[in-house]
Amino acid sequence: MRTSLSPTSSYPLLTPSSWLMSTSGSRIFLLGVVIFLSTSAISVYGHGFLQSPLSRARAVGRAEWEAAGGNGLGLRPFRTYPDTGFLVNDRADVCGDPHQDVGDLNMRSTATAIQATYTAGQTITVSYRMTVNHGGWLSVKICPTTRVNPSQACFDGYTLTNANTGFARWWIQTGAYGTQTTYTTNWRLPVGVSCDSGCVLQITYRTANSCVDPCNASECGTEYAAGRVPVSGVTGPGVIMQRCGTYGNPSTPPRTEVFRDCADIRIVASGGSNSGTTTRSSPPPPPTQQSSSGGGTQTPTAFCSGKANGFYGDKSTNCAKYFWCYGSGAAYMSCAAGTTMDSRGTKNYCDYPKNNVC
Ligand SMILES: [Cu+2]
């Protein structure tokens, strides 16, 4: 019931622009659409995407609302997008599917440029831009053996542990439905696992939109443990939700939405024998740096001095590279090929040059 009446899913009869409207408040209109369509015809656009390292879909130029699709409600019919009138059985693909569709761009087989380089055993920072916040949790895995059609089994063999909580699932405790939030999370890479020629990082966003996964308060906090969602606006105050059935078994209700996204990364072998320990006392790492060199004309620290936190396109590179100024430091980053960062510090994602001021 929750799923069928949720105003948070979007529908193939809506254009992208009207979808954007729906997320900013025109729920009455959307509710009408919900009633008009049967629940089995739901198709869902992406609810979030990897911002750092940049997702495959974004790296190849897909729009935010297209990135990181992959509804995991299970094996039941979904309407195709673009809407052909056909229903397909669909579920979250390994790397998401920007169009929730069997015939569209398959991000599992679409490798892009390397978006970040890490060291084995390092604690890495993963930023996920939540465009539709239903609460729930994030998990991060890597497939170190291939960048072409990585299998879920490969990812499942390398589940990262959150560096701050020590758990494999990172529960969303803040934010609000209807508000976009970038969640910056820290994860430990496995010791002794490297991929000099590149590998794939996968993030899974499992929502608490229709049900709450069972969890212990030490992992997920007292609200989720009690079946409530602490993210504002997902449910009414104090509402206790159903517990989710077993994910992966479509015959076990209730189910909830699952979105996946992938990014191409590289992990180099650790040089020192003492690095890559898995103790929880490891300090948070610096943000992902795609280049160990400094900025084009000045160091990131010098550039960020006195500036507000944010991302600033480096004009000396026509904004193909950018400075990331954050609370405790600064970094120099690269956008994916063909995209740039606005130079004014007003955006937090790489975009087409025509949409930016540089
Ligand atoms: Cu949704």
Cα 131 to middle of ligand 1, angstroms: 10
Question: What pLDDT does residue 21 have?
Answer: 30
Cα 89 to middle of ligand 1, angstroms: 18
Choosing from 268, 292, 312, the residue where a domain stops is 268
- Is 191 a member of any domain? yes
Determine the Cα angle at 348 with ends 342 and 354, to 5°: 35
Kindly provide the b/e burial profile for residues 152-183, where b requires at least 16 CB atoms within 10 angstroms of the residue's own CB.
Answer: bebbeebbbbbbebebebbbbeebebbeeeeb
Cα 10 to middle of ligand 1, angstroms: 7
- Is 180 a member of any domain? yes
Over residues 149-176, the pLDDT tens digits come to 899 899 999 999 999 999 999 999 999 9
Cα 181 to middle of ligand 1, angstroms: 15
141 pLDDT higher than 90: yes
Cα 200 to middle of ligand 1, angstroms: 25
Number of domains in the chain: 2
Cα 134 to middle of ligand 1, angstroms: 7
Cα 209 to middle of ligand 1, angstroms: 7
- Is 132 a member of any domain? yes
pLDDT band at 76 (very low <50, low <70, confident <90, very high): very low
Cα 284 to middle of ligand 1, angstroms: 31
Strand 258-268 versus strand 116-119 pairing type: parallel
Cα 153 to middle of ligand 1, angstroms: 26
Over residues 97-106, the pLDDT tens digits come to 654 444 445 6
- Is 28 a member of any domain? no
pLDDT band at 240 (very low <50, low <70, confident <90, very high): very high
- Is 196 a member of any domain? yes
Polymer length of the chain: 358
Cα 91 to middle of ligand 1, angstroms: 14
Cα 38 to middle of ligand 1, angstroms: 16
- Is 65 a member of any domain? no
Q: Which of 108-112, 216-220, 278-282 has the highest mean pLDDT?
A: 216-220
Cα 255 to middle of ligand 1, angstroms: 12
Over residues 253-262, the pLDDT tens digits come to 566 778 888 9
Q: How far apart are the first and last CA of the chain?
A: 47
- Is 292 a member of any domain? no
37 pLDDT higher than 70: no
Question: What pLDDT does residue 150 have?
Answer: 92
Q: Considering the chain, what is the average pLDDT of its residues?
A: 73
- Is 70 a member of any domain? no
Q: Which of these ranges, 133-142, 180-189, 270-279, 334-343, has the smallest mean pLDDT?
A: 270-279
Cα 356 to middle of ligand 1, angstroms: 29
Q: Structure tokens of 58?
A: 């974004």
Please give the residue that has the higher pLDDT: either 212 or 250.
212
Please give the residue that has the higher pLDDT: either 266 or 279.
266
Residues 195 and 64: their CA atoms lie apart, in Å, by 28
Owning domain of residue 199: 116-268
